[in-house]
Amino acid sequence: MPHLNALELHGFRGIREGKLEGLADANILVGRNNSGKTTVLEALARLGSRMAQWTGLTPILGREPAQPWLAARNESSSNAAELWYRGGQKAAFQVKAQMAGGSLEWTVPHLADPQSGHVQVQEGSYQDCAAVLHAAGSFRPADAANRELEARLWEAHVLPTRADKPVLDALRDVFGLEVEQLQLPSSGRAILVFPDHSLPLDVFGDGVRSAVRLLLVLAVLRGTLLSIEEPESHQHAGSLRKLARVLCELAWAQDVQLLVSTHSLECVRAFLDAGAELPAQQRPFETALFHLTLDQGCLVARKLSAETTHMLERTGVDPRMLDLYA
């Protein structure tokens, strides 16, 4: 399945123009507040929602890819989005996605009429691009307490494929929990079953709840993208390292490309190390760090390999603060 190679934005939210190129299997986005990290993930999610609407394909997670972003911004339509305003002039809103199987762009010329937007396939297969983007998933910190996730996924995706198995393995590995089963009874309240007792998922700490729901989302996705915002939320440093390894292993098995935004150096290290530790199969699992800066609407994304990031750290340079050294 083709993966996203590049994402280009014009006139979206606070980004007048910018591009991420050379995207890897797992991509970690860092940068100061208001540097464009969340905007990049949201633009990708909104493009996925438009692909689902235009093709009529049903999003796998039972919600539009853009839904978590709409809730966060108190918006009701995945069509509407703030455009870039400068000097009273309104720019066109445009998102371009480039993949190995082709490329496409979504343009909305007027904010007042978002339905006037159109998708144009520049090359390759429309079906290939749509198949990847319409099923894109996202996970935000608020999803740690989102009981609707397992309710949507359980019968349609978890039970038929036993997608609960990697979740159970991860609970044992990451948190040392001797859990035997994950169940969703008619009450709709997920239950963790242990050898001699059972407990509702929601009585556990935020770290366990977040990991269970994030892993369930990843376990049902195949051949698409998953955006994860601040996976370090709720996680101890030790569990974060193990969780990053499990996420990379599962993403590799499911052919899912990861885009991770974070403010945590521990999170950066965890994902870069996890990618390096994966055994090479048909090809290596590539991880990359993207440092984002945003100046007067111009987004600059500097790509660093895992090796370069580790080298910078050894010389005392914090890769989250590259703007101080530019």
pLDDT in tens, 8-44: 888 888 888 899 999 999 999 999 999 999 999 988 8
Q: What is the pLDDT of residue 308?
A: 92
d(CA 167, CA 194): 14
Q: What is the pLDDT of residue 136?
A: 84
Contacts of 162 (CB under 8 A, 6+ apart): none
Q: What is the pLDDT of residue 53?
A: 73
- Nearest residue to 317 (alpha-carbon basis) of 34, 33, 30: 30
d(CA 162, CA 127): 28
For the cut 70, the answer to whether the pLDDT of residue 123 exceeds it is no
Q: What is the pLDDT of residue 108?
A: 55
Enter the pTM of the model: 0.89
More confident residue, 197 or 107: 197
Q: What is the pLDDT of residue 282?
A: 59
Q: What is the pLDDT of residue 178?
A: 95
For the cut 80, the answer to whether the pLDDT of residue 100 exceeds it is no
Helices (H), the chain: 37-55, 67-72, 126-133, 148-153, 159-161, 164-175, 206-220, 237-254, 265-277, 306-314
pLDDT in tens, 44-83: 888 887 777 777 777 777 777 878 887 877 777 655 555 5
For the cut 60, the answer to whether the pLDDT of residue 87 exceeds it is no
Q: What is the pLDDT of residue 110?
A: 44
pLDDT > 70 fraction of the chain, expressed in percent and rounded:
82
First-to-last alpha carbon distance for the chain, in angstroms, is: 37
Mean pLDDT of 269-293: 87
Name which of 4-18, 209-223, 253-267, 294-308 the model is least confident about.
4-18
d(CA 53, CA 78): 10
Mean pLDDT of 116-133: 58
Angle (CA) 276-277-282 rounded to 5° is: 80
Q: What is the pLDDT of residue 221?
A: 92
Going along the chain from its start, the domains and CATH numbers come out as 4-145+222-324 (3.40.50.300)
Q: What is the pLDDT of residue 126?
A: 56
- Name the token pair of 191: 């239950």
